[in-house]
Amino acid sequence: MTEPGDAAAYHVRAQAAAEAAEARRAQVLLDAFVARVRELGVPSQELTARPWSGSGRYRTGVRGWYLRADKALAVSEDGGYYQLVVAPQRFGRWRRVALDPVPPQLQTGRGGRDGESVALDQLLRLRLGWDDVPAGAEGTDGPEGSEGSEGSEGSGR
């Protein structure tokens, strides 16, 4: 008979392995996105983060392209994936805030409100008008996301 701790440890390892595999597949998409925007000559810009409460934007010192119209997600020039909603910081509007990339997910906004979840490949298609998914990134599972907040108004740089 296995110990409850052994089963829990197994599930923790399995979940970590699944998340790492998902991040590798999502990174293929992001690397292809960066290559494509450079090929198209789309200029990058300094990414700004917003506090989860309050207003204003914080400078980050990271350059890249926004993925969503609400500027909550972005990819940096080196392919880093950034969530741009951060804890409020004293003097954040006047100083740069530290921002670290997070492992990318194939389903952005997972667990969020209705209409906030969208597959990463769909989000990138909206931004670039891609007709096909880059090789090695197939297998995005999950519900189809709403495209309402990510429209193709061209603000996704």
Q: Tens digits of per-residue pLDDT, 17-51?
A: 988 898 899 999 999 999 999 998 889 999 999 98
Tens-digit pLDDT profile for residues 79-138: 999 999 888 877 767 788 888 999 999 888 776 666 677 888 888 888 886 544 454 444
Question: Do residues 115 and 148 touch, judged by C-beta distance below 8 A?
Answer: yes
The answer on pLDDT for 62 being more than 50 is yes
- pTM of the complete model: 0.71
In a domain, 156, yes or no: no
Does residue 59 form part of some domain? yes
With respect to residue 110, please indicate whether it lies within any of the assigned structural domains.
yes
Residue 122 lies in domain:
4-150
Q: What total of structural domains would you count in the chain?
A: 1
Task: Supply the pLDDT for residue 115.
Answer: 65
